[in-house]
């Protein structure tokens, strides 16, 4: 016995995604018997013209949905800036939950919610993008019996997202962009399997509720996985780590989530910020030492002035060393920078 068709299509993209999305949407049929949900990584303060662009190039109407809006087949729902886009039974959630993989909106929460709510009816599509957002979400869709599609990394402007999905998820179709829309049109008309054959895993349900900031879940349930020795770079809380078919992921108690790659990227930014702070502190210390040396000379305390002169030179040397590391971007000089800051 079969259920409804594959009528929930979730698409995720990042860098190079506008070009990929316009091509895909342009080729969708006007009578597509599925609702399409789109997440494109955007800066939180950006103004998104993506619905207007997609509605102009393709036959389906596109818009930023409102929280609680009913799901209607044949429409494209685009995540607004600084909000996650989730799906629940028959309705859309637009929530300002914790960032995942350093983004809000992020692809994984959309895919995961589609998997939990619609199981085999969900189709996940990963397009051009950097790092690996969408991989864990695509794994979730496969765990619930859904369909996984990725753009061929060889033709993607930024191949990291589809390449990661290919590496860690059981992808059903790896296709050039021109073939994705016809494939979606065909899959949407195929009957999906029975949801009962793929029960909702407890960890996926917890993660969806965390994305929604469900009060009961946040108060009583720790994140899935094992408590790690690492701290969340967003809120400095403890991180739990989970392994999904070789994909290492982290999530904190309040809901921030990271893949290993996005965690490294976030830590690199934090390190750069700390090093620039060190440069500023060292240069201010040099200015203060120079001022104290000048005042000591005014009082004819030459030995004291010489000590402050030496401190000025040492602070300037350390600041310049760290500045060279930052400007060059050479990770192998990090140890020298750390030594300079001591």
Active centre residues (catalytic): 14, 41, 133
Please tell me whether residue 101 adopts helix, strand or coil conformation: coil
DSSP 8-state symbol, 92: E
* Residues forming a β-bridge with 92: 87
Structure tokens at 262: 């996005």
CA angle 161, 163, 167 (to 5 degrees): 120
Q: Please give the backbone phi and psi of residue 294, each rounded to the nearest 5 degrees, phi first.
A: -65, -40
Taking the C-alpha atoms of residue 203 and residue 247, their distance in angstroms, rounded to an integer, is: 15
> Tell me, what DSSP letter sits at residue 37?
E
Q: Phi and psi (nearest 5°) for 221?
A: -120, 120
Q: How many CB atoms lie within 10 A of CB 46?
A: 12
The CA-atom distances, in angstroms, between 10 and each of 26, 39, 40, 123, 153 are 16, 8, 11, 6, 19
C-alpha distance from residue 209 to each of 73, 98, 107, 137, 243 (Å):
25, 11, 16, 14, 20
Beta bridge partners of 8: 35, 122
What's the CA dihedral at 230, 231, 237, 243 to 10 degrees?
-50
**Integer Cα distance of 7 and 25 in angstroms:** 16
Question: Three-state SS for 97?
Answer: coil
DSSP-derived letter for residue 197 is G
Spatial distance between the Cα atoms of 302 and 305, rounded to a whole number of angstroms: 5
């Amino acid at each position: 016995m079969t259920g409804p068709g594959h009528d929930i299509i979730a698409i995720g993209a990042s860098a190079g995604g506008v070009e990929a999305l316009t091509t895909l949407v342009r080729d969708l049929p006007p009578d597509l018997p599925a609702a399409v949900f789109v997440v494109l990584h955007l800066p939180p303060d950006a103004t998104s013209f993506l619905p207007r662009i997609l509605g102009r190039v393709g036959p389906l109407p596109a818009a930023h949905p409102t929280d609680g809006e009913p799901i209607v087949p044949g429409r494209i729902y685009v995540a607004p800036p600084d909000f996650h886009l989730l799906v629940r039974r028959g309705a859309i959630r637009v929530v300002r939950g914790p960032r995942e993989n350093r983004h809000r909106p992020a692809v994984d929460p959309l895919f995961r919610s589609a998997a939990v709510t619609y199981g085999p009816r969900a189709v996940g599509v990963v397009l051009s993008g950097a790092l690996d957002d969408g991989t864990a979400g695509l794994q979730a869709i496969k765990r619930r019996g859904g369909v996984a599609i990725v753009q061929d990394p060889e033709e993607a402007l930024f191949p990291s997202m589809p390449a990661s999905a290919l590496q860690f998820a059981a992808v059903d179709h790896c296709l050039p962009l021109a073939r994705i829309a016809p494939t979606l049109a065909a899959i949407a008309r195929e009957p999906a399997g029975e949801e009962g054959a793929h029960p909702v895993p407890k960890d996926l349900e917890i993660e969806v509720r965390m994305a929604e900031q469900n009060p009961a879940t946040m108060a009583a349930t720790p994140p899935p996985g094992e408590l790690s020795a690492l701290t969340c770079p967003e809120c400095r809380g403890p991180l739990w780590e989970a392994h999904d078919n070789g994909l290492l992921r982290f999530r904190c108690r309040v809901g921030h989530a990271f893949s290993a790659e996005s965690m490294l990227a976030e830590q690199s930014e934090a390190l750069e910020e700390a090093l620039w702070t060190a440069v500023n502190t060292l240069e201010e210390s040099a200015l203060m030492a120079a001022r104290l040396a000048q005042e000591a000379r005014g009082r004819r305390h030459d030995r004291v002035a010489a000590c402050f002169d030496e401190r000025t030179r040492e602070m300037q040397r350390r600041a310049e060393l760290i500045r060279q590391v930052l400007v060059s971007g050479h990770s192998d000089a990090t140890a020298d920078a750390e030594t300079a800051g001591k």
